[in-house]
Amino acid sequence: MAEPTGPPDETGRRVLEERARALAAALVAEEPVDTVELVVLTVGSERYGVDAERVGEVRPLAELTPVPGTPPFWAGIVNVRGTLHPVLDLRRYLDLPAADGGDQASTIVLVSGAGLTVGLKVEDAAGVRPVPAGAIGPPLGAASEAVNAAVRGVTEDLLAILDIQALLADPRLVVREVPT
Amino acid sequence: MKFRPKILFAFAVPTVVALLTGLTIFQALNQSLHTSERVAHTQEVIGKADAVIRDAGDVVSAVRGFAVTGDEAFLVPYTQAISDSKRNQADLRRLVSDNPPQVTQVDRMTELLDRYVAEVTEPVISATRDGNQARAARLVKTTGRPLIGELTKVGDDFIAVEQRLLDTRTDANNRASRSARNVVALGLGLVVALTVAIGLVLSSRLARNAWAVIGAATGLAAGELSRRAEVRSNDELGQLARAFNQMAERLQATMDSERETKQALEAAVAEYSEFATRVARGDLTGRVSANGAADLRTLSENLNSMVTGLSELSSRVREGAQSMSSSTSEILAAVSQHTVSASQQSAAINETSTTMEELRTAAEQTARKAKEVAEQAQASATVSEEGTEAVDAITRSMEETRDRVGAMAKDILLLSEQSQQIGEITATVNDLADQSNILALNASIEAAKAGEHGKGFAVVAAEVRNLAEQSKQATDQVRAILGDIQKATTSAVLATERGTKVVEESLGLTHRAGDGIRSLAGTIQDAALAAQQISASVHEQSVGLDQITQAVKDMSASTTQFVAGAQQSQEAAEDLNNLSRQLATLTERYQV
């Protein structure tokens, strides 16, 4: 691409000014936009975002006690500073395939919603990123039923955002074992 | 009467007379000495008696003086006179103690003096001191005078008795002296007369007899064998004369018998002389008649047997000379044969000598070779010893290498353990990084919850997360490097083990090489020893050959001497032949 090396002409000057204005406007225009802070989780080989408002704490997976007689997606319970919390194996719940190296879940993310606080067993919590509320689109809908029920929307860079309120309100989660 | 009694009698008579005279004189002298002693004693007694009387007079005059004058000075001589008188009286008593009447007189004098002192002196002294001089004078006159008079009278009597005694003794002494003088004069005269008379008689008789013997002896010495000594005395001279006469008669008889013997001897000598002349002439047939004395008869028999022996000897010598002649001829032949064989022997010995020389040369060559072999073996032994030392040095350095490789392996193992520890530490750091990461994440979530206010905090949390991430990466790198190190140490351990094994094998090989070199050295040493022994024995052989050569030379010399001796023997045999001929000629002179 051959760029003229001489002094910029009138057209060139105008283009440069427009760029400068656009760059300056971007900084000013961002200020009023409503943003959502998402915590990015790695589940199996996929990544999901969770609203930071719902996240209480991220912990390394330790002292997990399995509870017999529960569906396979319940991994067990953990003791966090004297309080017992159920742990949900998010990959099994979302019916996702395991990553290439097998089940490597090593992190628990405590989330709250629908009057419950549940630990999500995930591969990793990659970090927190702000997403403009306007940039969140509707779910893609091409995924499994469980995923479709749990996903609220998709960001521009295709990060599915889990709706914790809806997920925790899922009646499948409730265990009602009647002793026979 | 013999000489001894005669002479003893001649000396004894005057001696007895002189002895009697001497005894008389001794007795007279002894009496005189005794008398003079007594005289001296008497004179001393008289002196003492006088002194006693004089002391009495002194006492009286002192008392009188004191009585008249009353002067105390008169009492001094008085006291002196009293003490003198006492002393003199004591002396006098001691002197006359052998004569009781005199002792009585002395006691009387003492008594009178004591009475004077008691009855006169003491009252006078007291009266005078009282001033009663008239009484004192009266006492002196009436009482003192008779006392002193008696004392003086007693003393005079004593002295008169002593004086008479002295006169008697002096007379006796004089008489004894006179009789002694007479005895001396008579005795001396008798001794002189006796001595002269006996001497004259004895000497005249002895001289007469001695002269008779001397005259007879002088005659015999001059050859008068019929002369005899005429002595009738019975003493020693008489015996001498009788013995001399017997001797003269025996001498005469001996001279007569000798004369007869001499005549017989002369006749025998004449006969022997004639016989000797015949024998000297060569006539051995004559004999001497055996008669005369026993000695002469023995001589005749001996002469006869001598001549008989001489004739036998002559005939034997003649026969011997003939047989010697034939023997010397045989000796000459034998000596010639010996000379020839000795020459042959000499030639053979010369050949032997040459052969021995060759043998000796060969032995010397052998000795030289053996010596060279011994020297080479010695050099090989030295080289093998050096080889042994080198192998030992190699062994030592190999062992050192082994030890060092072992130490290295230990060091590497230590390094591996330490890297293991580093790995553990790294794991801890990694864990810490994980926890930091999760903490940072929670922090950023809390920051997000805080909204607009938590934005600054979110940046810090992000930075913390970044750091945790970097720590994690760094620990990953460390872990990778540690893995490499562990791999490297493992291979190093394996390599050192292999090295140790190789060194061990090399050490074994070196030991074997050392053993081989050592046994080689031993063999070489043995070879050197054997070579030395060979050299020594060859040397001994050479010495033996020298001795043999010397012996052959000696043999050669003795053979030469033998040849010379054979020639001398030949000459001697010829001389013998000549001698036997001369002997035959000589013996032909004698008629047998």
Delimit the domains of chain A by residue range: 35-173
Distance, CA of B592 to CA of B482 (rounded, Å): 157
pLDDT in tens, A34-84: 788 889 998 888 889 998 888 989 988 888 999 888 888 898 999 999 999
First to last CA, chain B: 80
As a whole number, mean pLDDT of residues A137-144 equals: 74
In total, chain B counts a number of residues equal to 592
Please give the share of chain A, as a percent, with pLDDT higher than 90. Answer: 17
Residue in B with minimal Cα distance to A126: B441
A127:B444 CB<8 A: yes
Tell me which of B456 and A7 has the higher pLDDT.
B456
From the list A52, A32, A31, A33, the residue with the least C-alpha distance to A41 is A52
Q: What is the pLDDT of residue A1?
A: 47
Is ipTM strictly over 0.85? no
Q: Is the pLDDT of residue A127 over 90?
A: no
| Nearest alpha carbon to residue B14 among B205, B204, B189, B185 | B189
Tell me if B222 sits within 8 A of B56, measured CB to CB: no
Q: Per-residue confidence at A109, pLDDT binned at 50, 70, 90?
A: very high
* Statement: residue A141 has pLDDT above 80: no
Query: Which residues form the domain of B332?
Result: 304-587
Is B249 inside any structural domain? no
**What's the CA gap between B97 and A143, in Å, rounded?**
206
**B439 Cβ contact partners less than 8 Å away, ≥ 6 residues apart:** B464
Tell me which chain B residue has its CA closest to the CA of residue A125: B441
Task: Specify the pLDDT at position B356.
Answer: 85
Which residue, of B214, B229, B262, is where some domain finishes?
B214
In the predicted model, is pLDDT for residue A31 greater than 60? no
Whose tokens are 């001796």? That residue is B565
Distances B562 to A3, A45, B343, B350, B555 between C-alpha atoms, Å: 152, 143, 10, 15, 10
Any A CB within 8 A of B110 CB: no
Report the b/e string of B282-315 with b at 16+ CB within 10 A.
Answer: eebeeebeeeeeeebeebbeebbeebeeebeebe
**Cβ distance of A55 and B445 shorter than 8 Å:** yes
SS3 A77: strand
Residue of A nearest to B444 (CA): A128
- B460 contacts B444 by C-beta, under 8 angstroms: no
**How far apart are the CA of A82 and the nearest CA of chain B, in angstroms?**
19
Q: What is the least distance, in Å, from the CA of B394 to any CA of chain A? A: 59
Contact between residue B174 and residue B191 where contact means Cβ atoms under 8 Å apart:
no
Tell me which chain A residue has its CA closest to the CA of residue B445. A52
Are the C-beta atoms of B407 and B421 separated by less than 8 Å? no
Residues A156, A170: contact at Cβ < 8 Å? no
Smallest Cβ–Cβ distance between A125 and the set B435, B441, B462 belongs to B441
Which residue, among A30, A36, A37, A124, would best test binding to B if mutated, counting the most B CBs under 10 Å from its CB?
A37
Please name the amino acid found at residue B330: E
Q: Cβ separation of B441 and A53 shorter than 8 Å? A: no
Closest CA to B469 of B496, B438, B500, B425: B438
Contact B455, B446 (CB under 8 A): no
Question: Is there a contact between A60 and B458 if contact means CB atoms under 8 Å apart?
Answer: no
CB contact under 8 A, B449 and A39: no
CB-based contact, A107 to chain B, within 8 Å: yes
Please tell me which of the candidates A107, A128, A130 has its beta carbon nearest to residue B445. A128
**For A123-133, what is the mean pLDDT?**
85
Q: Give the model's pLDDT for residue A87.
A: 93
Domain boundary among B165, B185, B214: B214
| Chain A residues close to B465, C-beta within 8 Å | 127
> Is the CB of residue A169 less than 8 Å from the CB of residue A115?
no
Residue B96 · residue B45 · CB < 8 Å: yes
- Residues B370, B534 contacting (CB under 8 angstroms): yes
φ, ψ for residue A50, nearest 5 deg: -130, 135
Q: Is A59 on the interface with B (CB under 8 A)?
A: yes
* Cβ neighbour number for residue A22 with a 10 Å cutoff: 10
| Model confidence pTM above 0.80 | no
- Beta bridge partners of residue B269, listed in sequence order: none
In a mutational test of the B interface, the residue from A42, A54, A58, A122 whose CB has the highest number of chain B CBs within 10 Å is: A58
Task: List, in order, residues 6 or more apart from B434 with CB less than 8 Å away.
Answer: A60, B468, B472
Interchain CB contact of B364 with A (< 8 Å): no
- Establish if B453 touches chain A: CB-CB under 8 angstroms: no
Calculate ∠ Cα B11-B12-B13, nearest 5°: 100
Contact at CB, A127 and B442, closer than 8 angstroms: no
- B318, B580 Cβ separation under 8 angstroms: no
- Tell me, yes or no, whether B459 and B569 share the same domain: yes
Is residue A50 helix, strand or coil?
strand
CB contact under 8 A, A58 and B444: no
**Residue of chain A minimizing CA distance to B435:** A60
Set of chain B residues whose Cβ sits within 8 Å of the Cβ of A59: 438
Distance CA B354, CA B292 (A): 85
Beta-sheet strands, E only, within chain A: 35-43, 46-51, 55-60, 74-80, 83-89, 107-113, 116-122, 124-132, 151-154, 160-162
Q: Nearest C-alpha of chain A: how many angstroms from B500?
A: 44
B359 touches chain A (CB under 8 A): no
* C-alpha separations of B312 from B239, B278, B281, B318, B592 in Å: 66, 17, 17, 10, 8
Dihedral of CA B145/B148/B152/B158: which sign?
A: positive
Closest CA to B437 of B407, B410, B475, B408: B475
Please judge whether B445 and A107 are an interchain contact, meaning their C-beta atoms are less than 8 angstroms apart: no
Q: Cβ–Cβ of B448/A39 closer than 8 Å? A: yes
Q: Which residues of A touch B448 (CB under 8 A)?
A: 37, 39, 52, 128, 130
Strand partners for A48: A41, A160
For B478, counting Cβ atoms within 10 Å of its Cβ (0-12 exposed, 13-18 middle, 19+ buried), the class is: middle
Cα–Cα dist B233/B205, whole Å: 9
Structural domain count, chain B: 2
Tell me which residue in A53, A57, A128 faces B444 most closely, judged by beta carbons: A128
**Long-range CB pairs of B155-163, under 8 A, 24+ apart, other chains included:** B155/B49, B155/B50, B155/B52, B155/B53, B155/B56, B155/B109, B156/B53, B157/B105, B158/B49, B158/B102, B158/B105, B158/B106, B158/B109, B159/B46, B159/B49, B159/B50, B161/B102, B162/B42, B162/B45, B162/B46, B162/B49, B162/B102, B163/B46
Domain end marker among B214, B237, B254: B214
User: Taking the CA of residue B425 as centre, how many other CA atoms within 13 Å lie in the half-sphere pointing to its CB?
Assistant: 9
Q: At what angle do helices B236-281 and B145-221 cross, to 10 degrees?
A: 30
Burial of B542 (C-beta count, 10 Å sphere; 0-12/13-18/19+): middle
Quick one: which H or E segment has residue B575? helix B455-587
Indicate if B202 and B350 belong to the same structural domain: no
Domain holding B406: CATH number? 1.10.287.950
Beta bridge partners of A35: A132
The residues in A 2-41 lying below 8 A from B, measured between CB atoms, are: 37, 39
Between CA B385 and CA B378 the distance in angstroms is: 11
Q: Which residues of chain B lie closer than 8 angstroms to A60, CB-CB?
A: 434-435, 438
Looking at the complex, report in whole angstroms how far the Cα of residue B441 sits from the nearest Cα belonging to chain A: 6
Task: Please list the ranges in chain B whose pLDDT falls under 50.
Answer: none
Residue B448 contacts A, CB cutoff 8 Å: yes
Homologous superfamily of A35-173 in CATH?
Answer: CheA-289, Domain 4 (2.40.50.180)
Predicted local distance difference test score (pLDDT) of residue A27 = 56
Please judge whether B445 and A53 are an interchain contact, meaning their C-beta atoms are less than 8 angstroms apart. no
User: Same domain, yes or no, for B208 and B311?
Assistant: no
Is A128 in CB contact (< 8 Å) with chain B? yes
CB under 8 Å to A7, separation ≥6 — which residues? none
